[in-house]
Structure 1
Amino acid sequence: MAIPRAAKTQRRTRIQEEKEEQILEAALEVFSQHGFRGATIDQIADVAGMSKPNLLYYFRTKDAMHRALIDRVLDTWLDPLRAFDANGHPHQEIRSYIRRKLELARDFPRESRLFANEVLQGAPHIEDELKGPLKSLVDEKAEVIRAWADSGKIAKCDPYHLIFAIWSTTQHYADFDVQVRAVLGQDQAGEGRFEDAARFLESMFVKGLEIHE
């Protein structure tokens, strides 16, 4: 994990912590709009409302700011999958997972776009995490889904592609929010669009996994 320079001092003050958060908030805004390659330290300093030298006291490089944000996003994004409970009822666990993912799309759209930009650029900063901790967690939860299918609780399916499908359909509401709102129109593009999406996706995935005799 990227550690800000100020965090390495023996006694970290409240002001230092607030400055780091101020910088990361600005960096998130810039990275989510322009991607890593298109973002500059000058842009981040401008959005943060501070001088470039002051910003560089806390984070020496653009990479350090980006890495700190990506680490946070990965941790937040994986929480719903970690909560996927092997002892729960499959249908309820899938419904809960869909809702948690949609809540992240609703509450953290910039973080979603930051992550999407990183992956679209070939994941140069997080390849090790994708192949390591992320893969291990997905492998673990894929075994849970496979066990549900083997015990007759849900229909046979490829657990990895089920997880991918949930990822893509839920994160669509963050990464393509402008398109979603434009197509839905004024009457349907309010906050209720997430509840409408949740009901539809729950029905689609749960019904698709029902066993038909």
Structure 2
Amino acid sequence: MKQAVSENSTGKGRIRLENEQRILRAAEAVFADAGFAGTTMADIAATADLPKANLHYYFGSKEDLYRALLRDILDVWLDPIESIRAEADPAEAVTAYVAAKMEATRTRPAASRVFANEVLHGAPVLADFLAHDLRDLVNAKAAVLEDWARRGLIAPVDARHFLFMIWALTQHYADFDVQIRLVLGRRTLGRSDYNHITAEVTRFVLRGLGLPIPSHLQ
């Protein structure tokens, strides 16, 4: 750990991290638009405005870069679910979770589409993770929701499907952004739009759990 910290504190380490993030963001955009099969390292290099050799230096191959991107996306998406803990206030925990999911949708919509493409193609890279790590995480958080229901803190729900519904509600605004904008007659969805959407989704979720709506969301 000390060695890693020391390296990252140098100019060389900082440049490496910056280049890796630059490549990942470019890969996210290109994979979201073209899918894995339709993407080349040259496409990503052009989007990142870096030589193609740089991509191979940092990630080796398209497959390595794709796997690194999926890990990065999962870190962003799964960290917020830790707000759902047995000792937490249910309304505060769920509100925080929905807000974090919606913020990820607002700031990184392409990430959601990359993940959706992976799953729609049978999860060739993520199948083992979904069947084991994600299953364990969902079961653990479902147990928290079930415990809240037993204690009378929330209305009884099928906890696993409730989590799936939160994912569907929040990620819909990334995966189907074009549909939403066309139906609403909007060129873009800005921060104020997402504030409104987040409040609406949060109210819907809280009602589903039989929880009161905070005054700032009424």
Query: How big is the shift at 1:146?
Result: 0.5
The residue that corresponds to 1:24 in the other structure is: 24
Q: Is the 8 A contact 2:90 2:148 kept in 1?
A: yes
* Gaps in structure 1 of 5+ consecutive residues: 1-6
RMSD after superposition: 2.3
Q: Is the 8 A contact 1:82 1:137 kept in 2?
A: no
Q: Aligned partners of 1:143 and 1:157: how far apart in 2?
A: 11
Query: How big is the shift at 1:180?
Result: 1.6
Q: Is the 8 A contact 2:35 2:117 kept in 1?
A: yes
Q: Aligned partners of 1:71 and 1:40: how far apart in 2?
A: 19
TM-score, normalised by the number of residues in structure 2: 0.83
Q: Aligned partners of 1:134 and 1:190: how far apart in 2?
A: 31
The residue that corresponds to 2:4 in the other structure is: none
Q: Aligned partners of 1:200 and 1:175: how far apart in 2?
A: 18
Query: How big is the shift at 1:50?
Result: 3.4
- Count matched residues: 202
Query: How big is the shift at 1:20?
Result: 2.8
* Gaps in structure 2 of 5+ consecutive residues: 1-6, 212-218
CA 1:145/1:26 → structure 2, altered by over 3 Å: closer, same or farther?
same
TM-score, normalised by the number of residues in structure 1: 0.85
CA 1:187/1:205 → structure 2, altered by over 3 Å: closer, same or farther?
same
| Counterpart AA for 2:119 | V
The residue that corresponds to 2:111 in the other structure is: 111
The residue that corresponds to 1:84 in the other structure is: 84
Considering Cα pairs closer than 8 Å and 6+ residues apart, tell me whether 1 or 2 has the greater RCO: 1
Q: Is the 8 A contact 2:31 2:114 kept in 1?
A: yes
Q: Aligned partners of 1:184 and 1:98: how far apart in 2?
A: 22
The residue that corresponds to 1:123 in the other structure is: 123
Q: Aligned partners of 2:53 and 2:88: how far apart in 1?
A: 52
SS state at 1:157 partner: coil
CA 1:57/1:180 → structure 2, altered by over 3 Å: closer, same or farther?
same
